[in-house]
Amino acid sequence: MEPFKILDFDSHLFGLLVAKVIPESLDVLQLGELLSELKKKGVSLVYWCSKKEDTASQLAACEYRGFLADEKLTYVVNLPSIKDQFQNQDFQFYSEFEPSADLENLAFISGQYSRFLKDPRIGLERFQKMYATWIRNSCNHRIAKAVLIINENKNLLGMATLGEKESRGDIGLLAVFPQYHGRGIGTQLVRKAQAYFFDNKYPYAQVVTQKDNIPACRLYEKCNFMIDSIQNFYHFWL
């Protein structure tokens, strides 16, 4: 199996050839050979998600001037063990196949700590294209099972996209409009997401966020999620 994968979706969206390095642990020589091979293939941007605790991998990333785009935290919760926290939830789901302007704006808000926004060479336009596509493909169920929303007086307050990864229920995007912060909307969304996954027979739920996104980390920990893994996500521009 090749130690890298050309990412057709990202390549098409960004207008340049993008690849992902598969092994999470590489030394300086291994990473150098891979980057050299990818450059010969015409790749412009390479992603590498490496094990934070692997010193050799971190040294290799520094040697080749990898841009640390994200310290990626994966949170996991065992749903049966906390079912008393989210019982008797009611649900509102977004029913259209195209996102409204408000829903698209929430998608952009959800990505404010994203590696796609953090990397200045990707730029705002590509970031917005990425997240606009993400929410569109969530609404049409290509990458999500449902889009959970909270409305009040016909005003959209917040949303979360619900899917599946590695046989776990997965929260993809989650955001609340800033003017509604402090009202517990985020907590409601997470609890409803947990209830949805439990009702659909998932024993575990997960959510991925950024270490820099302190409000999100606090929210997930408040809702009984615990850190399962920490990875450093690098971008290499060739």
Pick from 42, 56, 32: nearest CA to 3: 32
Q: What is the CATH number of domain 76-230?
A: 3.40.630.30
Show me where the domains of the chain are located. 4-65, 76-230
The predicted-structure confidence for 190-204, as pLDDT tens digits, reads as follows 999 999 999 999 999
How many angstroms separate the CA atoms of 31 and 127, rounded?
Answer: 27
Query: What is the reported pLDDT for 1?
Result: 82
Query: What is the reported pLDDT for 126?
Result: 96
Q: What is the pLDDT along the chain (238 residues), one digit of tens a residue?
A: 899 999 999 999 999 999 999 999 999 999 999 999 999 999 999 999 998 899 999 999 999 999 999 999 999 999 999 999 998 899 999 999 999 999 999 999 999 999 999 999 999 999 999 999 999 999 999 999 999 999 999 899 999 999 999 999 999 999 999 999 999 999 999 999 999 999 999 999 999 999 999 999 999 999 999 999 999 999 999 9
